[in-house]
Chain A
Amino acid sequence: MIMDLCRENLAGMRDLLKDGEVSAVDLCRAHLNRIAERKSLNAFITIDGERAIDAARTADKRKQAGEETGLLAGLPLAVKDNICIDGQPTTCASKILDKFIPPYTATAVFNLLNAGAVIVGKTNLDEFGMGSSDEHSHFGPVKNPHDLSRTPGGSSGGSAAAVADFQVTAALGSDTGGSVRQPASFCGIVGLKPTYGAVSRYGLTAFASSFDQIGVLTRSVTDCEMVFRVICGRDEHDATSVRSIYPDDYSGDLKSAGRMRIGIPTEYFGEGLAPEVGAIVEKTIEELARDGRAIRKISLPHTKYAVAAYYIIANAEASANLARFDGVRYGTRVDSGQLSALYRESRSQGFGVEVKRRILLGTYVLSAGYRDEYYDRAQRVRTKIIGDFEDVFSSVDLLVCPTTPTTAFKLGEKLDDPLAMYLSDIYTVPASLAGLPALSVPCGTANGLPVGLQIIGPRFAESRLFSLATEIERLAGHRRTGV
C-alpha cells in the first residue's frame, strides 16, 4: 500500500486526497518512510520530518474545514539544497555553508508553499551546482536508483534520484548548463529548465547568474507542468524575471495553429554520441514523423564553441558570485587573526576542489589583459549561438535532440578528468547560453539505462514543450522501465 502510494504521480495523489482515500499526513509519512528506507542513495542532505508532517496536517485541516486549497495542497515535494527556505539549513553541499540557516524563503519555494505543497527535505547536489555527477558534494555522492554503481548525473542529482526512486513525487532543481536535464535523463524522469526569466531566482544561491534557472523534476509531463505553473511568474525581487501568466505568457507566441514543425540539429548527432543513445533518440523521432509531424534537419553552426564559451562565462560569474563566502559573516570561518589569512584559510578549507577550480578559471578569464581574449570573446560566441537559435526558430517550432551523449556513467569514472566531465554537458549548454526553455523526457533505455530526449523551444514556449513531451511520453510508454 505504502509503496503504491509513492508510485502515484501528483495528479493521482490529488485525486486520492480529494476522494478522502488518504490524508496528506498519510502521503507525507509514506514518503518519509521511503526516504528512510532508501537512505543509501544519499539523495537528501536535510530531512525535516516534523516540519513536513506539520505542513501535511495543516493541509488536511484546511481541507476538512472546506477552505480553498492550492494546486499542490498536501503533495510532498523536495527542494534542491541550494534554494533557501527560512529557518532550514541551506548547505549548497558545501562545507563553507556549515551551519548557515537563511532567514528568508526563495520565491519559488514560497509559491510552492502557497499552493499547499509539503516540503519533505533538501536534496543533495554537486557543491554550488558545479558538477555533472553529484560526486562533488561535501556530503558524499548520490547513487543512481537504476544502477547503484552509477551517477544520477548532476548537479540536481539528489532531486533526480529522489524522484526516480519514488522518495518524492516532484522536486525543484536548478539548471545552469544542464543540471536539471542531464540528471533527469540519467534517472529516466522528466526535467524542465524553464526560459531564463520564467522562474524567480530570488533565494537560489547563484552559480552563474545569467544562466541559473530553477527547474522541475517529476516522473510525468503533467506533473512537471503542474509544478511549473505554480513556480513561474514575475517577481519584484528578481529584476531578470519577466512574464506572469501561465499558460498565456508561455505559448511561445505560436502564430500558426497548424502542424508543429520539428527541427533536428545535425550537430547534436555527431562524434561523441553513444550509438545506443543515438539509436533510441532517432527511433523516437521516426515515430514522431510517423505521427504526422514535419521533421526537418537544421544546423546550429556554432554548437562546437558552446562548451568553451559556457565554461568561461559561467565560471567568470561564479568567481564573483562565490566571493561572498569569505568566512566573515557566516559559514566556515578559519580565523588566525590576520584578515588575508581569514579569507585564504576559510575559503581553502571551505570549498571543494571543483569549486576552487572554477573560481580560479573564472578569476583568470576576467583578469586584466585576459578579459578581452576570454570573457569578451566568449560573450561574442554567446551572441552567435543565440543567433543560431533565432535563425532556426523562424522555420521550426521546436528542436529535438539527445539530452546527453551517453547514459549514466560509473561513479568515479570522470572524477579525475574534468574536461570529460564538462563534455557531458555538450547538448545542454547551448540552450542555457541562449536562455531557452528545454525539457528532457525519457524516450527509452539503452543497456537497461534510461535515455532522455531533449526538446528545446523558443523563449517562453514552455506550453509547446509540454505538449510535444506528452506525445513522446505516450510513444515511449511501452519502452519505459521502472526502478
Chain B
Amino acid sequence: MTGWDRNHADFEAVIGLEIHAQLLTESKMFCGCSTAYGAPPNTQTCPVCLGLPGALPVANRQAIEYALRFVLAVGGTVNRRNVFARKNYYYPDLPKGYQISQYDQPLGEGGTIIIIEDNTAKSIGLMRAHLEEDAGKSFHVDARAGGPATLVDLNRCGVPLLEIVSQPEIRSPYQAYLFVTKIRQLVRYLDICSGDMEKGALRCDANISVRRQRKKTLGTRTEIKNINSIRGVERALTREIDRQIDILGSGGQIEQTTLFWDDDAQDVRPMRGKEESADYRYFPDPDLPEVVIDDDWLRRAAKAIPELPNQRRDRLVHEFHIPPYDAGVLTAERPLAEYFEAVASLVDRPKSAANWVLTEVLGALREVSGNIEEFPVQPPQLAELLREIEVGNISGKIAKEVFRIMQSEGGSAREIIERRGLQQISDGDTIQLVIGQVLRAYPTECKAYRGGKKKLFGFFVGEVMARTNGKANPQKVNELLRKMLED
C-alpha cells in the first residue's frame, strides 16, 4: 500500500476522474480527415478542422456508435436526443475558438465500473460520458531551437474523444489506478479505443480533495491534468494527497487550483497561463442538428458489445474449472482471452491449456514484449503440442523444448518431435533395459537403497532420464524402477 495510508490515517481522500478516450474511428469527429497517429505535422487537416471561415462540422456517426457501446456496457442511461454544444475559449491549438462538446445533454449518464481491491468488489459510479473533439497539439520551443515560440500541430484537432467522468467515489490512488485500468480494459474490449496512453489515446485528469475521516463535508479540491500513464495516476494522486495533508496538517488551507503532473520530476506543479475560473459560455452548436438515437440504433450498438471481461472471467471459471485469479489474467485483454479459448476448445484438458498460456505463452511474450496476435505459436499449433502431451507422446518437459523450437523456427509440434526423435519412450522393455544398465553401473547405491536409503530413488530416476535424453515416460520409469529395485 502506498505511503499516505500509513502516514495519514486521519485523512480520507475523495477522488473523481475524468478520462478522455480517443475513439478508434478512421476519420475525425466532424470531418473526413484521417485520425492516424504519427503523420507529419498539419498534414491531416481540411477547412473544417482548420476552422476556416465558412467550414461546417458534420457529426461522425461511427463515433456516436462507439460512445453508445460504452454507455450501454457500463449500464448507463442513453440520452435519446443528443445536443452538441460549443465550449468557448481561446488557445492557439483550438482553431475555431471553441471546442464542440456536449453540455447539458450528454450521450450517457450514470452507469458503474466495478473494481476489485483485495478480493473485494467496489462499484464506482459514473456521472456521465459525452462526445467531444480533441484540440491540436502545442509544442513550446525554447531559444536554443529558434524560439521562444509555440508550434501547433492540428493533426489531432477534431479527433473524436469520449469523456468519461466518474463520481467522486474513489478513495485512494490505488483505487484510481484500478479504475483507470478497468476503463482501459473495457474500451479495448469494446474495440472503441486503443487505450494507448503513451500516444495520448487515453488521458486522465483527476479532481481531488482530502477530509478528516468520518467527516461528511468535502474539502477544497484541486485538479491535476496531464496524467499520461496508468502508473502516473497513482503517483500523481499520492503526491497531491501528501501535499494537501501537509498543508491541512500544519493548519493551512487548500487553494482551488489546476495542477499539472510533471512525469519527469514526479511532482505536481501549478499550470501556467491558464485562467482560474473560465466562463466557457456553453450554448448549443447551431451547425449541428440534434442527433436522435432510435431503438434501431441502440439495438445495433448493443449487438456490437462483446462479452465483457467480468462475465468472461466467470464463464471461464465455470466452463473450464480454472481458478478465478487465472481466469482474471486470461481475460484481462480480449486477444489473450480469444487465444486461450481457441486453444482450450481444441484440447481435452483445458486446465493445462490455461497453465500453458499463463506461464509459457505470457512468459515468452514478456521476453520479446510482443503481442499475442503476432505470436509465432498460434492456438492450433499450441493445441497440437498439448495433444502430444495428452496422448503420452512427449513429456511436459520435452514439450517446453518443442515449444521453444516452434517459437524460434516455426513448424508443427508433430513434425519437430519426429524430426528430432523426441517421442517419449513408453515401451516397458526398452525402459527395463536402461534401468538394468543404471543398476549395474551403481552397485553401491543399489545396496544402500535396498538397505533402507530410500531417498536414492530420485537419483536412479534422474540417471534413467539422462540416459534416455529425458524421453522416457516418467510414470513408467517410476513404476518399473521401483519394481526392479525391490526385487
Contacts and interface: CB of A to CB of B under 8 A. Distances in A.
Interface stretch (A135-143, A284-292, A317-325): A317-325
A210 interface: yes
A205 B58 contact: no
B54 A202 contact: yes
Chain A interface size, under 10 / 10 to 19 / 20 to 34 / 35 or more: 35 or more
Interface in A104-119: 104, 106
Given A240-B287, A339-B273, A375-B283, A102 B96 contact: no
A324 B97 contact: yes
A312 to B, nearest CB: 11
Given A84-B53, A104-B52, A323-B98, A366 B58 contact: no
B56 A238 contact: yes
Contact of A343 (B52, B90, B152): B90
Given A104-B52, A324-B95, A317 B57 contact: no
A379 B282 CA distance: 14
B56 A201 contact: yes
A326 B90 CA distance: 8
B458 interface: no
A100 B53 contact: yes
B88 A367 contact: no
Interface string B93-104: 001111000000
Interface in A37-88: 82-84
Given A366-B281, A375-B283, A102 B59 contact: no
Interface in B260-319: 273, 279, 281-283, 285-289
A316 interface: yes
Interface in B71-128: 86, 88, 90, 92, 95-98
B218 interface: no
Interface string A360-402: 0001001110010001000000000000000000000000000
Contacts of B50: 329
A104 B47 contact: yes
A367 B152 CA distance: 29
A162 interface: no
B51 interface: yes
B58 A239 contact: yes
> Size range of the interface on B?
20 to 34
Given A92-B53, A239-B59, A368-B279, A103 B47 contact: yes
Contacts of A367: 279, 281
Most chain B CB within a 10 A radius of its CB, from A210, A326, A339, A371:
A326
B86 A83 contact: no
Given A320-B283, A324-B95, A339-B273, A236 B58 contact: yes
B36 interface: no
Given A103-B47, A238-B56, A363 B97 contact: no
B53 A205 contact: yes
Contacts of B39: none
Contact of A205 (B54, B150, B289): B54
B97 A323 contact: yes
Contact of A237 (B56, B86, B285): B56
A129 B90 CA distance: 23
A366 B282 CA distance: 7
8 contacts: A104-B55, A206-B287, A240-B56, A323-B90, A324-B96, A324-B97, A343-B90, A371-B281
The 3 A-B residue pairs with the shortest CB-CB distance, nearest first, are A323-B97, A210-B286, A209-B286
Given A82-B53, A203-B54, A317-B283, 9 more contacts: A90-B54, A100-B53, A204-B54, A236-B58, A237-B58, A238-B58, A323-B90, A328-B95, A375-B283
